[in-house]
Amino acid sequence: MERYELIFRRAVRIYQLLMLLGLIIAAQIAVVQFFKKDIKSGDKIAFRTNEIPAVRGDILAKDGRLLASSVPYYKVRIDCTVQEKDTFNKYIDGLCKELSAFFKDRSQAQYKKLITEGRDKGKRYMALGNRLVDYSELAQIKQFPLFRLGANNGGIIAEEQYRRKNPYGRTAYRTIGFMNSQGVGTGIEASWDYYLKGVPGQQTVQRLTGGEWIPINTDNNIAPQDGYDIRTTIDIDIQEAVEKALMEQIKKGNNVEGATAVVMERRTGAIRAISNLKSDGRGGFDESLNYAVGQATEPGSVLKLVSLVALLEDQKVTLDTPVDGGNGHWEYKGQKVNDSHAVGMQTVKGAFAHSSNVCFAKLVTKHYQDDPKKYVTRLQNMKLGERFHLDIQGEGTAVIHSPNDKIWTPGLLASMGFGYGLLLTPLHTLTFYNAIANDGKMMKPYFIEDYSKNGEVVKSFKPQEISGAICTKQTAKMAQEALRAVVTSGTGKMMNKESFSISGKTGTARIAFDGGGYEKNGMRRYQATFCGYFPSENPEYTLIVILYSGKTAGNFYGASQAGPPFLQIARFIHSNTPKWNELLDGSQRARNSNPVISKGMGDASRVVASVLPLTNSKDVVNQIGSSHWVSFGSDSLGVRPHSYNIEKDSLISVVDMGLKDALFLLENLGYKVKFTGAGRVVSQNPAAGSKVDKNSVINLQLGYRR
């Protein structure tokens, strides 16, 4: 009996164990079926699809010079399986010696061990070196022992990657902008990212023994579509002059914390230059804050032009209306108004020329105190605080208070009369001045000329007038007269010594400290402005220059701080604009002289020279025709042909070329190129005409021609 009970108990235990095992198996099946849906099949483990980034489009200056470009770099890899055994053994020591000397990350013995072990393990996509290499370095590596046998016999693989470069360094950098690896950026790079980035492709890759993934050709591969090229309105030569003028003023040591300057083309509203320099706290300045587009502040006296135009347009005054500036001190409903110097009795034109706060506070309050809403409406009708919907991000918002606002006080009307109590960006101020120079027609500021694909323009952007004139042409003419008086007899007299005429207005404004108040422990902060246009009679450009001070107990005036860089920029633009320059030599010989033919495509240059009205065009054509030309065609390099003027069997000249063309030409001729500076090539070493061996280093100095 006991024996049967023992057998029964054992059977029960076995049954229980089987039931437990069954439950475990069922649970595993449920987990696999319902909770582990990402388990890959054998095919998915062996293959996957990678995204191929498209080549990001270039950002160009108005004349096509590169402002930002994606430059190819290469990761060097080796297929350790393609070499014949005898070939491998013959060249491996030489290859490893060259790799060690080039990358300096491993010894010759370490490289030999790495590659030999890779060969034993059948590695077909093994990385070499500790960094990416550029085109000229890759050409050098391809001549190393074993690698010179090519990809099929030597095993070299060059994996192309792109890096963003700015050939002109930090020039207009805050406007050009950047994009980081997380897709966050600034400026044109961010605003036009959709067009610049292109459409990525797809590449099937296979996993090999050892965990390496190599690309393979399949019908599922999709080629990427490269991004559009964006051509901006920026004129590189004017841009460089603007930055130079600001830096020279900053270096005078006047406690400058930041500076901005913008050049606008009067007829179109195109921004030809924009510079934003901010102190880095270590004695240097950099393009790190877009003051011009994004920072709204109280403009100060430069906004007296708005009050003047409002008073003239509403027919409250004429330029000859008398106004008493008294002793330079006045109070209106608790608002104290002071001048830096007493101006006494003046005409409206004289008060404007001498920038009297008292006079303009009196004029605005006298004519609008019974209906301040009318004054605010006038400013709004003149598009003063207009949102431009710019083609770059970061546009600041103008603030013009109204009597309906809680912040409004009776004294605020007096403050608005001389440029306080409202917030504007420098671009708003510039656009208003440009409208006055344009006889009342306000143009929308813009930064982009067009975008293109493979050299073909896809879409162009035309100048846009902001709806309706801001004032009558008669009012604009009177305002122009007043702006000219500032320079001929007022606070801007320093501008009246040029061979061309300038019209504009000085402005000095205190900047409020965080938490309010214009003074803290006896210290103040200022912005000094000069905004104007030139030549006065038929303006081509409108320009604003603003310098922001650090904390100071002294003064910081628009005329002395912003005036000199304004004058330097205007002088550069005027002297470099051909239609404003008379012939230095009025003789017939000077008039009949021929232009210099720049380097470029020979056939195109000959065609142009033959149809231009040159005095001896046949000689020019013959001169071009007698030169030696080298052409790199699309059959060999996969790019559109380029032709360059060269001396036979000697080093070519790339002086005056852009960096991209110079690199293209020299590297494809077998030279290694190093360069410093920004701009076009101004010198090269060795000099053109020298006898230089292939693989030699050619040093280029970049800069700007005057």
pLDDT digits (tens, 9 = 90+) for 623-654: 554 443 444 433 333 333 344 444 445 788 88
The mean of the pLDDT values for the chain is: 86
pLDDT of residue 626: 42
pLDDT of residue 25: 79
pLDDT of residue 33: 61
Residue 533 predicted with pLDDT over 50: yes
Residue 86 predicted with pLDDT over 50: yes
236-453+460-579 and 627-703 share one fold? no
Residue 41: CA count within 13 A, CB half-sphere: 3
Nearest one of 432, 488, 479 to 299, comparing CA atoms: 432
Residue 39 predicted with pLDDT over 70: no
pLDDT of residue 637: 33
pLDDT of residue 130: 94
Q: How many CB atoms lie within 10 A of CB 77?
A: 20
Q: Which residues contact 660 (CB under 8 A, 6 or more apart)?
A: 66, 69, 167
pLDDT of residue 634: 35
Range 69-86 average pLDDT: 93
Compare 590 and 74 and report the one with higher pLDDT. 74
pLDDT of residue 638: 33
pLDDT of residue 388: 95
Compare 452 and 38 and report the one with higher pLDDT. 452
Range 345-372 average pLDDT: 97
Fold topology of 236-453+460-579: Beta-lactamase (3.40.710)
pLDDT of residue 688: 84
Q: Residue 602 — very low, low, confident or very high, per pLDDT cuts 50/70/90?
A: low
259/151 Cα distance (integer angstroms): 54
270/268 Cα distance (integer angstroms): 5
Q: What percent of the chain has pLDDT over 90?
A: 58
Compare 3 and 557 and report the one with higher pLDDT. 557
Range 405-410 average pLDDT: 92
pLDDT of residue 696: 83
253, 288 in Cβ contact below 8 A?
no
Q: Does domain 627-703 have CATH number 3.30.10.20?
A: yes
79, 157 in Cβ contact below 8 A?
yes
Residue 176: CA count within 13 A, CB half-sphere: 27
Q: Residue 540 — very low, low, confident or very high, per pLDDT cuts 50/70/90?
A: very high
What's this model's pTM, rounded to 2 decimal places?
0.75
Side by side, the strands of the sheet bearing 672-676 are 672-676, 697-703, 680-685
The beta-strand segments (E) located in 552-627 are none
Range 68-78 average pLDDT: 93
Q: Which residues contact 543 (CB under 8 A, 6 or more apart)?
A: 261, 262, 263, 264, 430, 531, 532, 533, 534, 566, 569, 570
Residue 524: CA count within 13 A, CB half-sphere: 14
Q: Residue 492 — very low, low, confident or very high, per pLDDT cuts 50/70/90?
A: very high
pLDDT of residue 552: 87
DSSP 3-state of 128: coil
359, 419 in Cβ contact below 8 A?
no
Q: Residue 620 — very low, low, confident or very high, per pLDDT cuts 50/70/90?
A: low
The dihedral built from the CA positions of residue 213, 216, 222 and 226, taken in this order, carries a sign that is positive
pLDDT of residue 592: 47
pLDDT of residue 618: 57
Compare 329 and 656 and report the one with higher pLDDT. 329
Domain residue ranges of the chain, discontinuous segments joined by +: 49-232, 236-453+460-579, 627-703
For 48, the enclosing helix (H) or strand (E) is strand 47-52
179-201 pLDDT, tens digit per residue, is 887 888 999 999 999 999 999 88
Which single residue is written with the structure tokens 């080039």? 102
pLDDT of residue 601: 53
- Alpha-carbon torsion angle 312, 318, 319, 322, nearest 10: -120
Tell me the one-letter amino acid at 685: N
pLDDT of residue 687: 84
Compare 268 and 174 and report the one with higher pLDDT. 268
Q: Residue 594 — very low, low, confident or very high, per pLDDT cuts 50/70/90?
A: low
Q: Write out the two tokens for 416.
A: 């608005």
Compare 32 and 234 and report the one with higher pLDDT. 234
Tell me the one-letter amino acid at 97: K
Q: Which CATH number applies to 49-232?
A: 3.90.1310.10
Q: Residue 411 — very low, low, confident or very high, per pLDDT cuts 50/70/90?
A: very high
